[in-house]
Amino acid sequence: MAKNTTDKVRNGRATPTSRPSDSLTKDTLLEMYWKMLLSRRVDERAWMIHRQGKIVFHISAIGQEAIQVAAAYTIHLGVDYIVPYYRDLALVLCAGVTPEDFMISLYGKEGELSSLARQMPSHFGAKPFNIVSTSAPVATQVVHAAGMAFAIKYRIQNELQDPNDRTQPRLAVTSLGEGSTSQGEWHEAMNWAGVHQLPFICIVQNNHYAISVPVDKQMAVPNVADRAAAYGVEGIIVDGNDVLACYDVMHYAVQKAYRGDGPTLIEAKTYRMTPHSSDDDDRTYRERSEVDAWRDKDPLLRLANHLKAQGLLTDAVIEGYDKRARKIVDEAQRAAEERPYPPGESAIAPVYAEAN
Ligand SMILES: Cc1ncc(C[n+]2csc(CCOP(=O)(O)OP(=O)(O)O)c2C)c(N)n1
Ligand SMILES: [Mg+2]
């Protein structure tokens, strides 16, 4: 991408002729909309069954789907390393995790995909899709991603991997919240990625809160992306509720990583539409008017309006998608409910390796 085009993308003002998202076909755009919608409906159901007392915990991706779907549509899914965080439901659904897998996690049932139900739900991991398991301490995944990106660069430099071999991982993409960038691990990983100019993309989903702590109590600079330069990493800010703008910056960062041109930090400015988790009551620390103001910027609504204006989507099609999503979610929930719990004696089975 030419420098001036990059600058335009960075400022969120890419001209129509220069945007990678302009090349997206109608089918792909509708598929992206569908993925965002499906994630939203799965997520809403999780809140509902929590309130019904059927599950004990949920942490939500609602409002943050745009950057996640954009990431999924720009990397090589199933091959590149995805090192997600707990709000990346839309991303992992695109990568191959199914609504049924997610429901099984929520219910903690046998065969749970990420950790055989040892971790909390939403601590995603799925070996078949190169989704790397996350730990509960925030930001630790960023160090893992930088390590994987280092391994890719090492293999390429030592001719153990052809840089154009599309069957091998060519980048590591990770995400976290803006509050988690206060953790030491984030700084260490960013430094490592910068020093070695790694094929590494760090997506910061800046949803303005870390539980009850607003972003201006978290850091003294207005943007997480401003910190990237200190590590020799390019920092880009994007409207995290505009899936096409997110696609443009992700496309830029991914192609740059594939060329061996180094790491990128993408700060997607968005908003946490729900309480932090099902254990939180956000009425104690933020005004309803603030939450309501963000409803108009809902990324799902915005994409629907855009596609309708382009003549690519109609209310009837949306209704059809909704029906389809409801059926999928109903079936996923039923399947999870019918499944047994893991047997008690299996509790430590996958924890310790067999003695040789
Ligand atoms: C090291 C560590 N400290 C504290 C916590 C508890 N905790 C879990 S999520 C969270 C807030 C993170 O906020 P942010 O990074 O902005 O992500 P968001 O939840 O807003 O997406 C905290 C403090 C933790 N899991 N790990
Ligand atoms: Mg946050």
Report residue 33 CA to chain centroid gap.
15
* Predicted confidence band of residue 17 (pLDDT cuts 50, 70, 90): low
Residue 176 Cα to ligand 2 middle (Å): 8
Cα separation, 353 vs 259, whole angstroms: 39
- Dihedral in degrees, nearest 10, Cα atoms 215, 198, 187, 127: 80
Cβ < 6 A, ligand 1 pocket? 87, 136-138, 176-180, 183, 205, 207, 209-211, 272, 276
How much is the pLDDT for 346? 81
Does residue 347 belong to any structural domain of this protein?
Answer: no
Determine which residue's CA is closest to atom 24 belonging to ligand 1: 137
Does residue 353 belong to any structural domain of this protein?
Answer: no
Determine which residue's CA is closest to atom 18 belonging to ligand 1: 177
pLDDT in tens, 27-50: 999 999 999 999 999 999 999 999
pLDDT at 329 over 50: yes
Does residue 123 belong to any structural domain of this protein?
Answer: yes
Number of domains, the chain: 1
Cα separation, 193 vs 336, whole angstroms: 40
Does residue 184 belong to any structural domain of this protein?
Answer: yes
- Residue 138 CA: nearest ligand 1 atom is 26
Does residue 178 belong to any structural domain of this protein?
Answer: yes
How much is the pLDDT for 345? 83
Q: Which of 186, 206, 211 to mutate to test the pocket of ligand 1 (most atoms within 8 A of CB)?
A: 211
CATH number for the domain spanning 314: value is 3.40.50.970
Does residue 344 belong to any structural domain of this protein?
Answer: no
pLDDT at 2 over 90: no
Ligand that lies nearest to the alpha carbon of residue 280, given by its number in the listed order? 1
Q: Which of 138, 272, 286 to mutate to test the pocket of ligand 1 (most atoms within 8 A of CB)?
A: 138
Report the predicted TM-score, pTM, of the whole model to 2 decimal places. Answer: 0.94
Which comes out higher in pLDDT, residue 174 or 7? 174
Determine which residue's CA is closest to atom 20 belonging to ligand 1: 210
Residue 211 Cα to ligand 2 middle (Å): 7
Does residue 199 belong to any structural domain of this protein?
Answer: yes
pLDDT in tens, 254-283: 999 999 999 999 999 999 999 999 999 999
Print the domain residue range for 183. Answer: 3-12+20-339
